[in-house]
Amino acid sequence: MYRALLAALALSLLAACSSQPPAPEQRPSGVEDRQPSTVSSTAPVSQETLDPYSVAALKDPKSILSKREVFFDFDEYVIKDEFKPLIAAHAKFLIANPKFKMLIQGNADERGSREYNLALGQKRAEAVKKALTLLGAREDQIESVSLGEEKPRCTEQTEECWAKNRRDDILYSGEF
């Protein structure tokens, strides 16, 4: 009798564990057959609809992204407040375009030794790179190099001319 009771209990447990068809709300829905829509936009691209962080914005003179120079004070590598919006715009561009690479070329005026100017140019390029990465750009998108005094914009011996040479140049993929 004990064995018969145990066998009945085992059978009832097995019956309770058997699989059942899914409830109606759990059944998979059928695949909907859709035809591609034939709606197309023929509206011309205008300045108002241009994405400010698109590749086209890099060449648009009205876009902040077309500005690619950051200037520094004499013997300094601190980014001036007037260039922070420019750097923020380039950081947003790099975030929106993760396949793009940037090269920052640090420059110095001719005053100082060759070694000093190379080091100063590197510090300037690294300062902009650090600002970009702090704003969200990936470090592997940005390379910083120093040209020292080797790429002057102006060759006169005046303060105005030297100020043009104390800069970082920003270049994107395909421009270097």
Domains of the chain listed by start with CATH number: 80-172 (3.30.1330.60)
CA atoms within 13 A on the CB side of 173: 11
Q: Considering all CA atoms of the chain, what is the largest pairwise distance in Å, rounded to the nearest integer? A: 114
pLDDT 10s digits, 35-80: 544 444 343 444 445 578 788 999 999 999 999 999 999 999 999 9
Mean pLDDT of the chain: 83
CA 74/CA 113 separation, integer angstroms = 14
What's the pTM? 0.71
Residue 105 in 3-state DSSP? Answer: strand
The whole-number average pLDDT for the span 22-37 is: 49
What is the distance between the alpha carbons of residues 65 and 90, in angstroms, rounded to a whole number? 6
What pLDDT is stored for residue 8 in this prediction? Answer: 56
111 contact partners, CB below 8 Å, separation of at least 6? 74, 162
Q: What is the pLDDT of residue 51?
A: 77
